[in-house]
Structure 1
Amino acid sequence: MGSLSATHWLLIALVFVLLFGAKRLPDAARGLGRSLRIFKSEMQEMQTEGGKSAPSAGTSTASTPQAPAELPSAQPTANPAAQANPDLHKA
């Protein structure tokens, strides 16, 4: 009940070929490889950026909470669609 044997892997490969076709499998594998390379490079970039921006243990940073920005007040309009494109409502 441990790992899969060679016959299990062959059966799985056969099912994939039957489901997706022999032409689409190389394209799918190529796309998966590109995705994994992009993911790996992004993870490495995040790790290098994380090391640069982390404050050192000896320094203390006092942060003051910032007040939330005010949102503009919403003015009710009679018909926003008619104001956005008046040509649509001409008959």
Structure 2
Amino acid sequence: MFGIGGGELVFILFIVLMLFGSDKVPEIARTMGKAMAQLKNATNDIKSEIHKGAEANGFDSQTLTNITGNINAQINEAKTNLLGDTTSVSTNLLGDTATEIDKVKEDIETISGPVKRQK
């Protein structure tokens, strides 16, 4: 839920309770619920108007889906061209880092030799 964990949610609820008091919290929750319902209804109305307009101009839902898919593919291709392939960069970076760490471990072991810490 919006990247908020359980502890963070409890903390936010505690702050809201402290700011507004226990008598105002149910009223605020009701108002927020009504606002969310109105937002959802408005979004659905806009979607239906877009679909009606598209159908009136000869586009069906399959055509719109194909157009949307093509646009998303072009956006992803542009991102790949601009940013490059980030998975290969991270894999190479991790591989190089692991190699360097192994070299340092070997150097430390050769320097310390048979000396071990005693408990």
TM-score normalized by the length of structure 2: 0.40
Separation of aligned partners in 1, 2:53 and 2:34:
29
Alignment correspondent of 1:45:
45
Q: What is the SS of the residue equivalent to 2:5?
A: coil
Q: 1:9 Cα shift?
A: 3.4
Equivalent positions of 1:59-70 (< 5 A) are none
Structure ranking higher in helix proportion: 2
Q: 1:12 Cα shift?
A: 2.7
The code of the aligned residue for 1:37 comes to: A
Q: 1:16 Cα shift?
A: 1.4
Separation of aligned partners in 2, 1:38 and 1:13:
23
Alignment correspondent of 1:34:
34
Q: 1:5 Cα shift?
A: 4.5
Answer 1 or 2: higher relative contact order, Cα 8 Å, separation at least 6: 1
Identify unmatched segments of 5+ residues in structure 1: 58-91
TM-score normalized by the length of structure 1: 0.51
Identify unmatched segments of 5+ residues in structure 2: 60-119
Deviation larger for 10-19 or 36-45? 10-19
Separation of aligned partners in 2, 1:52 and 1:3:
37
Alpha-carbon deviations, 1:15-50, whole Å to 9, x = none? 211111001111001000000001101111111111
CA spacing shift, 1:13–1:43, aligned 2, 3 Å: same
Separation of aligned partners in 1, 2:29 and 2:4:
23
CA spacing shift, 1:34–1:53, aligned 2, 3 Å: same
Separation of aligned partners in 1, 2:50 and 2:19:
43
Separation of aligned partners in 2, 1:9 and 1:53:
41
Separation of aligned partners in 2, 1:52 and 1:29:
35
